[in-house]
Structure 1
Amino acid sequence: MTRRVTGKVVTPTGVVRQGCVEIADGRITAVAEYPSVRDGHWIVPGFVDMHTHGGGGHTFTTGDPESARQAAEFHLGHGTTTLLASLVSSPFALMRDATAAFRPLVESGVLAGIHFEGPYLSADRCGAQNPEFLRDPSVEELTELIEAGAGAVRMVTVAPERAGATEAIELLVANGVVAAIGHTDATWAQTRAAVAAGASVGTHLFNGMRPLHHREPGPVVALLEAPSVVCELVADGVHLHDGMLGFAASVAGPERAALITDAMAAAGMPDGDYELGGQAVTVADGVARLSRGGAIAGSTLTMDAALRHAVGAGVALPDAVRMAATTPARALGLGDRVGALRAGLRADLVVLDDDLNVVRVMRAGDWVE
């Protein structure tokens, strides 16, 4: 049985203003003109969040599968139909146990994979990462995690200046895992070497990185100029000034800039006290910071809010949609399955009103309650 969703359809090549998405057996069968449509809602692909630590009062960072399931359900309600469960720096035992606990959720499609944001990060640029757990990359640890995950481990963030980083990046890439660069004090040359080794994502560009300098461009410039690297951007007005968001988006282009939430458990929850990676976090006016020291500790963002913010900052809607869905899907190696309104892909879509608020969400051809 074929179903139709009509409205202003945002495709990878532009907007079909009088459009129709046809769906059968959980997949998109066609995107076409539908002349009888008049001023319908926006129809965009389901969002792909490649970096989120939790939401709705639930977290991925403890490795608890039920908490992970609830966090994914919260973000699904905000249009995120594909996401990675991002952990923060932690002891290896927790990483191993979380991999085993989340593997069934990946196999069942609740999660698209696991992202280890650390512990192989810079102590000087650790941000809200727990410095107690930071260490040099370990090929032995990564090998065990990759084998235990059997495809569940999708991305690992590494600081390229740490001893053993190049070997770790090469191991990850050889096993089909995305190697990301982040929380780093690396030089421009060290970052370029990591990209040459196969790193293909910049973890929340600018945040947790050596800043730009005219005599030492550092990692930001190296990542922005690398044609093989997708740069994550947290569009919440806190992590990045809107001017810097627009600058990075224009330099990388929508095909290399990806919106992420970097959300923690407090997303969708009241201000108050929370926890992230064993550290106390205080949320005030929707901004999460470490209770001691005041470093930004993730966000309370959702992908629909990130899309609205990016558009409000001057990013054209079709470009912002690519940044929220198509580009991150491709960065994760999922572009042949999700991330766009195109025939053959899974029928994941979000219906938005003219203010870009979520009206309805569809995943695999079924409307989400």
Structure 2
Amino acid sequence: MTWLAPARLFDGERLRESLALRFEEGRVADLAPLDARMNAHPLPGTVTPGYVDLQVNGGGGVLLNADPTVAGMEAIAAAHRRLGTVALLPTVITDAPEVLDRAAEAALAAKGKPGLLGLHIEGPHIAPARRGTHAARFIRPLDDRTLTLVRRLREGGVPVLLTLAPEATTPGQIAALAAMGTVVSLGHSDATAAQARAALAEGARAVTHLFNAMSPLTHREPGLVGAALNSTVPAGIIADGHHVAFEVLALALRARLAPDLLFLVSDAMPTVGGPDRFRLYDMDLHVQDGRLLNPEGNLAGAHTTMAEGVANLVAQAGVPPEAALRMAVTIPARLIGRPGLATLEGRPAADLLRLDAALRPLGPPGETLVDLGPPIQ
């Protein structure tokens, strides 16, 4: 039995001090007020549950679309775990139907594997005008093939987040998906605010990478951005400073109707923890000055991590540390139906992250919890 006393703990709700963690057999067995009789070892920094990322296209040189297998998913998860993310949704973007089929089979086979939460299907049911780097030739309206595939995933107990454009659906389809327990997220859309509100009324529960690849907010037509900001559903956002200016990110936080309605995603590609270039469809993508670019020089996914996003939220957008950690842990964990990922009790040490004063990881999850000083007397 070992007691550790971090300078601060994030318990999924708030940052706390003067508490100690008791470890038994590599797991947190107890959380209690610090007492000298514990012989607890001091641990500088902040201890938090590792990050939860609901939008990960790749990592470690692996792109899920190119390797839609259990091995591909595990390689992506391993790359991101080293960088602070302990649970993620592998994300398959717009592609041939057979690619989505293979990704779904892999998600079913990977059910229950550490760090893999299910499947994020981003497209192909999106607006061509807001496709971003998604290939136009694979875009199609929501159809029975995808509805059947999602139903099979849900009946198999696999969580599904499905990003679609409201205008790519017909009335009742979003409601059908919601009835299956699918987290329908609005994105890659040129929808009017009225179309977006109708989709939310049918059961859409989130918005994908707010501001990016969607109809913007204007003074006469609020678009999807305006409808999202005025809604009570959580929206993902990329905090690398390239996809959304930090001033706009801070403005979005102030504009939401309640706390905990903006969460962090990486939208990471294979260059995270891997080589600085890869191939998507028939394009060569490369990293330049921290941005992932296509041959035309446009953003094509992201080259960033949740850990970088958290540090940026605090240092660049003025987000309080407690709120930044909720955006990276608590809100996404709740959205995907895994609130336990935002708790400390019962968690393996390998799922805990230690951060410095700027909320930057001091090392991979679990590995920095052995930096022990002499017991507190």
Q: Which residue of 2 aligns with 1:173?
A: 178
Q: CA deviation at 1:275?
A: 2.1
For 1:326 and 1:26, locate their aligned partners in 2 and report how far apart those are by CA, in whole Å. Answer: 23
Secondary structure in structure 1 of the residue aligned to 2:166: coil
For 1:26 and 1:352, locate their aligned partners in 2 and report how far apart those are by CA, in whole Å. Answer: 20
Task: Indicate which of 230, 243, 246 corresponds to 1:225.
Answer: 230
**1:156 correspondence with 2:162:** yes
Moved more, 192-201 or 135-144: 135-144
User: Amino acid of the residue matched to residue 314 of structure 1?
Assistant: G
For 2:259 and 2:161, locate their aligned partners in 1 and report how far apart those are by CA, in whole Å. Answer: 21
For 1:86 and 1:40, locate their aligned partners in 2 and report how far apart those are by CA, in whole Å. Answer: 35
Q: What is the CA RMSD across the aligned residues, in angstroms?
A: 2.3
Q: Which residue of 1 aligns with 2:304?
A: 301
Task: Indicate which of 210, 213, 222 corresponds to 2:218.
Answer: 213
Q: Which residue of 2 aligns with 1:310?
A: 313
Q: Which residue of 1 aligns with 2:375?
A: none
Moved more, 261-270 or 124-133: 261-270
Q: CA deviation at 1:221?
A: 1.5
Task: Indicate which of 282, 287, 291 corresponds to 2:286.
Answer: 282
For 2:112 and 2:343, locate their aligned partners in 1 and report how far apart those are by CA, in whole Å. Answer: 22
Moved more, 88-97 or 16-25: 16-25
Q: CA deviation at 1:106?
A: 2.6
Q: Which residue of 1 aligns with 2:337?
A: 333
Q: Deviations over 1:91-140 (max 9, x none)?
A: 11111111112322233234111100000000000011111110100133
Moved more, 104-113 or 37-46: 37-46
Q: Deviations over 1:262-288 (max 9, x none)?
A: 0000113454x3223453323212211
User: Amino acid of the residue matched to residue 303 of structure 2?
Assistant: T
For 2:327 and 2:235, locate their aligned partners in 1 and report how far apart those are by CA, in whole Å. Answer: 10
Change (3 A) 1:153 1:94: farther
Q: Which residue of 1 aligns with 2:80?
A: 75
Task: Indicate which of 249, 253, 272 corresponds to 2:253.
Answer: 249
For 2:181 and 2:32, locate their aligned partners in 1 and report how far apart those are by CA, in whole Å. Answer: 35
Moved more, 312-321 or 96-105: 96-105
Contact preservation (8 Å) 1:49, 1:83: yes
List gaps (5 residues or longer) in structure 2.
371-377
Change (3 A) 1:306 1:254: farther
Moved more, 51-60 or 13-22: 13-22
Secondary structure in structure 2 of the residue aligned to 1:359: coil
5 Å-filtered alignment, 1:96-135, equals 96-135=101-140
Q: CA deviation at 1:233?
A: 0.7
Moved more, 28-37 or 46-55: 28-37
For 1:193 and 1:45, locate their aligned partners in 2 and report how far apart those are by CA, in whole Å. Answer: 36
**1:52 correspondence with 2:17:** no
Change (3 A) 1:145 1:353: same
Q: Deviations over 1:177-236 (max 9, x none)?
A: 110000000011110111111111110000001111111001112112211x11101000
Task: Indicate which of 330, 351, 355 corresponds to 1:352.
Answer: 355
Contact preservation (8 Å) 1:89, 1:277: no
User: Amino acid of the residue matched to residue 161 of structure 1?
Assistant: E
**1:192 correspondence with 2:211:** no
Q: Deviations over 1:134-154 (max 9, x none)?
A: 010013322234315612251
Contact preservation (8 Å) 1:120, 1:135: yes
Q: Which residue of 1 aligns with 2:32?
A: 32
Change (3 A) 1:26 1:95: farther
Question: Normalization by structure 1: what TM-score?
Answer: 0.90
Contact preservation (8 Å) 2:130, 2:189: yes
For 1:241 and 1:3, locate their aligned partners in 2 and report how far apart those are by CA, in whole Å. Answer: 42
Question: Normalization by structure 2: what TM-score?
Answer: 0.88
User: Amino acid of the residue matched to residue 123 of structure 2?
Assistant: G
Change (3 A) 1:129 1:352: same
Moved more, 188-197 or 37-46: 37-46
User: Amino acid of the residue matched to residue 331 of structure 2?
Assistant: T
Secondary structure in structure 1 of the residue aligned to 2:211: coil
For 1:267 and 1:101, locate their aligned partners in 2 and report how far apart those are by CA, in whole Å. Answer: 22
User: Amino acid of the residue matched to residue 21 of structure 1?
Assistant: L
Contact preservation (8 Å) 1:5, 1:22: no
User: Amino acid of the residue matched to residue 87 of structure 1?
Assistant: V
Contact preservation (8 Å) 2:260, 2:327: yes
Task: Indicate which of 64, 71, 86 corresponds to 1:66.
Answer: 71
Change (3 A) 1:316 1:111: same
- Count of aligned positions: 359
Secondary structure in structure 2 of the residue aligned to 1:111: coil
For 2:85 and 2:5, locate their aligned partners in 1 and report how far apart those are by CA, in whole Å. Answer: 18
Change (3 A) 1:254 1:306: farther
List gaps (5 residues or longer) in structure 1.
none
For 1:73 and 1:356, locate their aligned partners in 2 and report how far apart those are by CA, in whole Å. Answer: 21
For 1:14 and 1:163, locate their aligned partners in 2 and report how far apart those are by CA, in whole Å. Answer: 39
The structure whose Rg is larger is 2
Q: Deviations over 1:154-176 (max 9, x none)?
A: 11101001242x43322221111
For 2:197 and 2:185, locate their aligned partners in 1 and report how far apart those are by CA, in whole Å. Answer: 12
Contact preservation (8 Å) 1:55, 1:300: no
User: Amino acid of the residue matched to residue 83 of structure 2?
Assistant: H
